[in-house]
Amino acid sequence: MKIIIQKFGGTSLQNAEIRNKAAEHVAAAIKKGFSPIVVVSAIGRKGDPYATDTLLQTATSIFENISPRDKDMIMSCGELISAVVMVQTLKQKKINAISLNGMQAGIITDENYNQARIMKVIPDNLIIAINSGQVPVVTGFQGISENGEITTFGRGGSDTTASILAAALKAEFIEIYSDVEGMLTADPHQIPDAVNIQNASYIEAVEMANKGANVIHPQAVEIASHYKIPIKLFSTSNTNKATVIYDMKHDKPVTGITSKTNIIYTRIFPLKDNIHKTGLSIFQMLSLQNISVDFIDITPELISFIVDAELEDKLIKILEDNNYKFETEKDLSKISVVGSGMTGMPGVMAKIAKALNSNNIMIYECTDSYTTISCLVKSLDEIKAITALHKEFELGKKQ
């Protein structure tokens, strides 16, 4: 029994025509001798009737303060609708299918509403369905706690569902279908000559996802990496171009450029002899409030970091309540150069500095890892910076 996981995003389910194309991919997998398990997101995007954001807006328009538990209850509904609609689409094509919610699929989580962690998977119902010749269509993004509470995994959680099921069932590979042709060297809306990345390592995919590329959730890649399960990224309507993510390394130093704009850059000014105590206390407070920080820089005069813009009010309240001297800034963007080939290769930072400097783009902060170098620049310079770096590393050429 060769199991594969096929995950379809909301844009791959938003109308009958594209749902039929999704069903054709399921049929093609069966024809090749695979036993597919389908994972679905909610249909469409915000504004569409059954999209997660639309459902949530329906509830909060009545009374804004919604409990985390009730939020999970309503946010889980979009995938239920998708699963049933996808089953009917498959049956129309003479494919025997069955819809399963997170509980029925055996996905057990903790009780951290809206950001639940998967504790284990009991795939008995999935195996029974496959052995009986059915295609299980599983609701993404959700599971159930040991106390029977419906939980969701946060944005991009359907990708995580696909990976965790692949791990539990020892799947051959994972296919992720969306409205883009795999992973690209840059955002095509920003860089018209961005091209498809045919092959990417797990770490490159994680870094690009974490740094702003929205093709796949980083946690899904991390799970697949741990179990060495390849991931294939496709466009539902055009499978001629794709990205395969697996355990590999590029010869080229740079694979892609990503950017992130909705960030808050924060500077804290502690007393000189209190820098380490201040740093320890603020990061502990942020951690307790589930606020993730990035771009951390600690000097004798300054502590700086960035957080997602949606956390601004929460962050400022913590800083004000604890009498920190601080300032925040909104008009900066994080530009990241990603590539597993840069490990141990000298001169990458020099090329970045040259490309940005020659275009009169000031670097405010810089950080690096083995596979990523990120720079903070003015948001007004974001596209100019990405364009300069994309050209400098010759990423517009066929990969």
My answer on whether 284 and 138 are in the same domain is: no
Residue 238 resides in a domain = yes
My answer on whether 102 and 12 are in the same domain is: yes
Domain end position, chosen among 221, 246, 271:
246
My answer on whether 94 and 190 are in the same domain is: yes
C-alpha span between 218 and 216 (Å, rounded): 6
Q: How far is the CA of 237 from the CAs of 32, 180, 194, 199, in angstroms?
A: 19, 9, 19, 20
What is the identity of the amino acid at 144? I
pTM: 0.87
10-residue mean pLDDT profile of the chain (399 residues): values are: 95 93 97 98 87 92 94 96 98 98 97 93 98 97 96 91 97 94 88 91 90 83 96 91 89 90 89 66 88 87 89 93 90 92 86 96 90 93 96 81
Of the candidates 155, 182, 329, 305, the one whose C-alpha atom is nearest the C-alpha of residue 241 is 182
Residue 263 resides in a domain = yes
My answer on whether 273 and 176 are in the same domain is: no
Residue 300 is part of which domain span? 249-394
Give the torsion sign (CA, 113, 119, 122, 123). positive
pLDDT for the residue 397: 66
What total number of domains does the chain contain?
A: 2
Residue 142 resides in a domain = yes
> Residue 295 half-sphere exposure, CB side, CA atoms within 13 Å?
26
- Strands in 303-308's sheet, in edge-to-edge order, are 294-298, 303-308, 263-268, 326-329
Domain end position, chosen among 246, 277, 311:
246
pLDDT for the residue 344: 76
